Amino acid sequence: MTKLPSRLHHTAYVTKDLEATRAFYEDVLGLPLIATWCEKDFLFGKDRTYCHCFFGIGDGGALAFFQFADAEDQALFGPEIPATPFMHIALNVDKETQAELEGRIKQAGLEATYTLEHGYCRSIYVVDPNGMTVEFTCDDPRAESGDAYRRSIAHAELKRWLAGDHSTNNDFRHAEAA
């Protein structure tokens, strides 16, 4: 059996405003700032100076953000994040944490962009100061019992979809959402 990575170490993005990003992730969402690396490296043909901040998540992993000192580097490495819900980071939370986050988002004067009942999980989405969508998802308690089955049919379901059969296989969806 192939050994899998043990956890997400970090995922990295570029921000135009590290302080606004820090305030959102730490003050609003409660993810602690756990490391700030101020660095200068010879990268891609020249010296580049940047700051790299890490915000901790419960499993020991982190969300990380870069900001470059040089405007040219910032433009080169920090393209705009497209405003689409289909490019996002999803973080697993329990029901109580999800409710607390919804309250913190509202208390900060922000609005969750939307809530989605996937059936197998409930998700709230909020957009960070960089335009990135962050999802907080809480699994339905029944979902875990079907994990082995979903793994066993994953390749067959992908093959079916790619062959043109686009029928739904989400048995968890509420009848009105089907």
Task: Give me the pLDDT at residue 98, please.
Answer: 94
Burial annotation 147-167 (CB, 10 A radius, 16+ → b, else e): eeeeeeeeeeeeeeeeeeeee
Last residue of a domain, one of 61, 79, 97: 79
pLDDT at 176 exceeding the cut of 60: no
95 and 61 within one domain:
no
- DSSP class of 60: S
Higher pLDDT, 16 or 147: 16
Q: Are residues 168 and 111 part of one domain?
A: yes
b/e burial code for range 8-37 (CB count within 10 A of at least 16 → b) = eebeeebbbebeebbebbbebbebebeeee
Percentage, residues of the chain above pLDDT 70: 97
pLDDT value at position 123?
Answer: 93
Measured CA to CA, the distance from residue 110 to residue 40 in angstroms comes to 35
Position 120 scores a pLDDT of 87
Instruction: Report the pLDDT value the prediction gives residue 111, as an integer from 0 to 100.
Output: 76
What does the pLDDT read at residue 172?
A: 78
Q: How many domains does one find in the chain? A: 2
Residues 74 and 135 in one domain: no
Backbone angles phi, psi at 173, to 5 degrees: -55, 145
pLDDT in tens, 1-55: 789 888 899 999 999 999 999 999 999 999 999 999 999 999 999 999 999 999 9
Question: 97 and 72: one domain?
Answer: no
Tell me what pLDDT residue 82 has. Answer: 76
pLDDT at 177 over 60: no
Question: Both 9 and 62 in a single domain?
Answer: yes
Which CATH number do you get for residue 46?
Answer: 3.10.180.10
pLDDT attached to residue 11: 93
Does one domain contain both 59 and 113? no
Tokens standing for residue 69: 């000192």
Would residue 101 be called left, alpha or beta, if left means φ above 0 and alpha means ψ between -120 and 50 degrees? alpha
**103 vs 146, more confident:** 103
Asked whether residue 76 carries a pLDDT value surpassing 70, the answer given is: yes
Encode pLDDT of 79-102 as tens digits. Answer: 787 777 788 899 999 999 999 999
Domain extent for 52: 1-79
3-state secondary structure of 155: helix
Q: How far apart are CA 57 and CA 164, in angstroms?
A: 39
Residues contacting 92, CB < 8 A, separation 6+:
137, 138, 139
Considering the domain architecture, whether residues 4 and 63 belong to the same structural domain is answered as yes
Distance separating alpha carbons of residues 58 and 34, to the nearest angstrom? 12
The whole-number pLDDT of residue 39 equals 94
- Whose structure tokens read 């607390």? 100
Across all residues in the chain, what is the average pLDDT?
Answer: 89
Q: Are residues 119 and 177 in the same domain?
A: yes
